[in-house]
Structure formats: structure tokens, C-alpha cells
Chain A
Amino acid sequence: MSAQDLQLALALAAVLFVIGLAGMIARRSLVFMLLCTEIMLNAAGFAFIIAGARWGRPEGQAMFIFLLVTAAAEVAVGLALILALSGRLKDLDADEIRSGGA
């Protein structure tokens, strides 16, 4: 892997993480916030992959698998929460929850 490839890939991971963070801050819909969490987790996992490929070590991909497990558990609980809340809130707005709900 050349130094340019390394730079480009790390920049990609950073940009994806920032897009996810910006979406998390800007969007108030619960579904979109969970989606942005996925984007950020994925970017972090991609950084692990890059490091593993740079040093030729398998640990990067092993950590990516652990991140997959974390993301799967988080999505299962988060989506169950969204489903449980969807009857009580009108449009699943995070601010609506903070103000006590409908």
C-alpha cells in the first residue's frame, strides 16, 4: 500500500465519520440518528481495516468483526426502542421525547 493510498483511505474514514456526526447533530428524527450512528461505526471499522492492511496484520479485520457484533446488538435494541416509541410519538422526533412526549 502506497503512502498516497493510506492518506486517501484515512481521509475517507475521517470524512465519513464527520458526515455521520454532522447528520447526528442536524437531524432530529430517531431513525436518522440511528442511521448516523451506523455511519460513524462503519467509518471507525474502516479505519481498523486500513491499519490492519498497512501493517499486514489480521488484528484490524478481527476488530472489524467485533465492531460488526456491537453494531448488530446496538441496532437490535435501538430499533426495538423506536418501535416501542412509535405509537406514542407522532413523528419520532428526539426533541419531542425530551419535552415529555405527546
Chain B
Amino acid sequence: MSALLAIAAFVAVASTTAVVLQRRAVHALLYLIVSFFALAVAMLALGAAFAAALEVVVYAGAILVLFVFVVMMIGAEGPIPGPRAWIGPVCLSIVLLGELAYAFLVEPGLLAPAGSGTPPAVRPKEVGMALFGPYAICVEIAAFLLLSGLVGAYRIGRRDAGSRAGGGKP
């Protein structure tokens, strides 16, 4: 059994459990970011490097930052969380960092480079060929979905759409 995968799985389960148990949304967001990092490491251990990069960039980088913006805009959270709030996520992240450093520096064979292993790990090029070959119609439907999401979010969030648009609690 791959120790890389096992440790990442432990960190993912621990941080996701912490997400559900937090009282405040900001703390839960911190743990959720760590959970996505752990899943990215697990994907890397499975040989899906492209998906791991997307997990960090899109999920942790874009979607959760959107969450942070909205939680701060609602303003129900009070002051910025102090050191006691982020000590747990930092400890879990350090475990992941140590794991990655070990995998990259000490034993590069753990990471299953693209094109090796049985079955061979999937290269990003093959993913792109599949996306724009047999699944091109799905890519276009995804574009429709994103556009409708954009229009819907704009319509719902418009200033005169509801009784409130920009203020939050005084």
C-alpha cells in the first residue's frame, strides 16, 4: 500500500470532519482548503497530476476564494480569526508539505510519472485529446452551463433584485 496515499487519505478525512464540526464558516473554509490539498496529493499519488493541479487551482484557488469573499461580505463572522483558528489547518498542511517534499526529493518513484506503471498513468495530453475529440460536444455544453451560471448569478445578485444588495448588517 502506498504510504503517500494513506497519509493523504488520513489528512483528508481529518480535515473534512473538522469542516463539518466548525461553528464559524471561516474556520470551516480553512479546513476545507486543507482537505482539497490532501485530495490533490492523493490524486498525485494515483498518477493523475493534471487533475491534482486543477484541484488546487480551481477548487482551492477559485471556488473557495469565492466562498471567503461571500462569508466576509455577509459580515456575520465578526473579527478576523486569530492564531488559534489557523493552528489546526497549518499542522495538517505541514504534514502534506512534508509528504510532498519526501516524494519529490527522496523517492521520486513514488509519484508514478506519466506514461509509467501498470496501467500507465494518464498524461495531460491524452486528457486534452479526449476532451476535444470524442467529448467536444460536452465541452460546448459545459460552456453553456457556465454562461447560464454567469447570467443567473448576475440576475440574482443585481442591486434592485431584492431588498438588499450591497450592505449587509450595519
Contacts and interface: CB of A to CB of B under 8 A. Distances in A.
Contacts of A66: 138, 142
Contact of B145 (A27, A56, A70): A70
Contacts, number: 198
Interface in B49-64: 50-51, 54-55, 58-59, 62-63
Contact of B122 (A2, A15, A53, A79): A53
Interface in A1-32: 1-2, 4-5, 8-9, 11-12, 15-16, 19-20, 22-23, 26-27, 29, 31-32
Nearest to B71: A31
29 contacts: A1-B46, A5-B1, A9-B9, A12-B9, A12-B13, A16-B13, A16-B35, A31-B71, A34-B67, A35-B29, A35-B67, A36-B20, A46-B39, A49-B43, A52-B48, A56-B122, A58-B122, A70-B145, A72-B146, A73-B145, A74-B149, A80-B157, A82-B70, A83-B73, A83-B157, A83-B165, A87-B162, A87-B164, A92-B76
